[in-house]
Amino acid sequence: MNIKVRRSFLRSPSMSYMVRPFGTKYAKLDQHTTAWTIQNAYKHLEDAHTFLVEHAHPVLGSAARVAPDGQWGTNVKRIPISFPRTDLRLLENDHIEHNFVEVINMCATIERMLDALLWAQQTGFSEHLVWICHPTASSNAEARLQGEPDNDLVLISRNNDGMAAHFEVSDVSGNRDGNDKERKDLESLKVLLEGEKGPNALNKDWPNAHMFLVVAAKFGHSICERTRRMWRIGNPPHCTYHPHDTQSNGESKTLIVEIVDGKIGRSDIKCSFKCCRANNDDADQVCQPS
């Protein structure tokens, strides 16, 4: 997969974010020399998550002491968390402060991202490189409009001999999609066309990549069961969903939903998880490790 990057979209991965974007895309701007393998990405992102949790967890005590008055929600939401300077790879910054709820949301999204990276190591993507990873910020929609591969996580083949893998990552709580996150993420993956309605929204030029939604397990089960969405009806449907569990035992917190062209069917990603929908038509069953 040959990728050309317009310099206008090669943004510096400086500390405009709590956990900065990283990946091979930023190699020329990066002051460190890092081979952004999935394994390295997981290690550095896990270190950043540990740092956030270590400094945020003690603040739970402060939250418990907030007076239960008419401003309780506002006051708890804005409890400040002060982070010291650190030399961690993805958190190079001076003293910085974020509010309590922001940090909780960051940690939850990073946890979904870590699950995606760990899962990718157990599939045919294990030798891919991380092209771009946006741990705590939205991907670059402007870059996508210019034809660049930019989603929350993009993995590319090391030797340009395989398809890329694109992931949109979110942490919607519960099973309701009040903000239409499912549709928006499918638009980001170019499965649907942004701004179009009805059948016109179905992108006939199917992306040349493997595509995934990385979501909280409860929300993931919910969207997999919604088979009457416009893009999932018809014979064949525009796309089908193939859910992958991310833990071999215990309760899975994250579900990875593979989005597949309904006209072609599931392609082989050499996954170590046996995907039920690769073998039968039970849309509600979730695959388990083989």
Q: Which residues pair with 99 in a beta bridge?
A: 80
Mean of pLDDT values over 90-102: 81
Q: Which two tokens stand for residue 16?
A: 């405009």
Mean of pLDDT values over 254-274: 74
Q: Give yes or no for a contact between 212 and 256, defined as CB atoms under 8 angstroms apart.
A: yes
For the chain, the average pLDDT equals 80
Q: Tell me whether residue 136 is in a domain.
A: no
Do 118 and 195 lie in one domain? The reply is: no
Go through 187-204 and write b for each residue having 16 or more CB atoms within 10 A of its CB, e for each that does not. Answer: bbbbbbeeeeeeeebbbe
Is residue 253 predicted with pLDDT exceeding 90? no
Do 175 and 290 lie in one domain? The reply is: yes
Q: Which has the minimum average pLDDT: 41-50, 88-97, 104-113, 199-208? A: 88-97
Q: Tell me whether residue 33 is in a domain.
A: yes
Q: Tell me whether residue 28 is in a domain.
A: yes
- The sign of the torsion formed by the CA atoms of 112, 118, 122, 126 equals positive
Tell me: the pLDDT tens digits for 120-167? 988 878 899 999 999 987 656 565 555 666 799 999 988 776 788 999
Do 180 and 261 lie in one domain? The reply is: yes
Q: Tell me whether residue 175 is in a domain.
A: yes
* Distances from the Cα of 8 to the Cα of 4, 12, 143, 244, angstroms: 12, 11, 9, 36
> In which domain, by residue range, is 206 found?
170-290
Q: Tell me whether residue 145 is in a domain.
A: no
Q: Give yes or no for a contact between 91 and 118, defined as CB atoms under 8 angstroms apart.
A: no
Do 119 and 41 lie in one domain? The reply is: yes
Do 121 and 174 lie in one domain? The reply is: no
Q: Tell me whether residue 246 is in a domain.
A: yes
Q: Tell me whether residue 46 is in a domain.
A: yes
Do 93 and 186 lie in one domain? The reply is: no
Cα angle value 147/213/7 (rounded, 5°): 25
Give the residue among 221, 149, 217, 238 at the shortest CA–CA distance from 188: 149
Q: Tell me whether residue 165 is in a domain.
A: no
Tell me: the pLDDT tens digits for 166-206? 999 988 877 777 788 999 999 999 999 988 989 999 999 98
Tell me: the pLDDT tens digits for 116-127? 999 998 887 889
- Does the model's pTM come out above 0.85? no
Tell me: the pLDDT tens digits for 196-218? 989 999 999 988 889 999 999 89
* Count of structural domains within the chain: 2
Q: Provide the pLDDT confidence category of residue 35 given band limits of 50, 70 and 90.
A: confident
